[in-house]
Structure 1
Amino acid sequence: MSQERSAEFKGNPITLVGPVLKVGDAAPDFSLNKNLLETSSLKDFAGKVKLISVVPSIDTGVCDAQTRRFNEEASKLGDNVAILTISVDLPFAQARWCAAAGVDRVYLLSDYKDNSFGKAYGVLIKEFQLDMRAIFVLDANDKIAYIEVLNEMGEHPNYEAAISAVKSLL
């Protein structure tokens, strides 16, 4: 049975589906699309600290800014950190956006097929079939070290806290 809890979109209630993960939990594995044929999972980033930036759609203002910000931070964090941006946008749209934005240090992965990431991480928005804006920081052993699931979809995450959490694991 899936769990449900409330959040907001522009002051209106929405429902998040999936478990409430906690710091210290083992991160659920995932299978996300890099493109239509290739997938990526947690094991593809084994041994690295992972910052997982979840956005509803890459083609919106806050999602665009969030992904650009973490792309800028990526070069400062070094090779032991993998930054993943996850949305339900089709891989084609993600690739087009990356090319137009010059984003090249962040892995964009798509949860479009079955929303398995959203369901496993408790961020699937039932009403829209999008993933709620959230940040998960995982240590090199895939334990969750930091979580921020925003209550309002249109707000920015706490970038400084997320980056600080990553740095504390290096």
Structure 2
Amino acid sequence: MKIFKEDQPDILTVSKRIRLIKFREIIPEAFAWYQDRETLRLVDGPDRRPYDRETLSRMYRVLGKMGELYYIEYQAADHFYPIGDVTLALHDLPIVIGDPACRGKGIGSQVINALVERATRQGLKHLYVREIYDYNIASQKLFLKYGFRREGKTKLGHAYHLVISS
């Protein structure tokens, strides 16, 4: 979905080794991410069953309608490979580092920083995260680091809000 005057870029460079690629189709790696029980616990809550192809397709359709949907790619050796997904939307900023080997390496931090900068350049005054579960300490720390504030209790966690200063 187009949420800014400027079109969503095909490639958004985050750093020398990280880039965001505009979502066009479901890739095999994405299906694998949403089969992983720990990934599902972090993004969908406890006891979530692995996604079938229809559930994954429906999720990406919804995210694509909400805002700018990207795959996160990380460079290892001489090529980039997909490790997760992220959506920059007006009312949510969901990020998934689907490759467990890439968690805890600062990739999510760099991606959020780049998207906050993009939102700022595009004139947004606020960013929101619909929910981060109370047990997902890494995500809480990530968003708090960029100035998001805990706001509003949800069933399993809290919503977060960032006021963007111009």
* TM superposition score normalised by structure 1: 0.30
* TM superposition score normalised by structure 2: 0.30
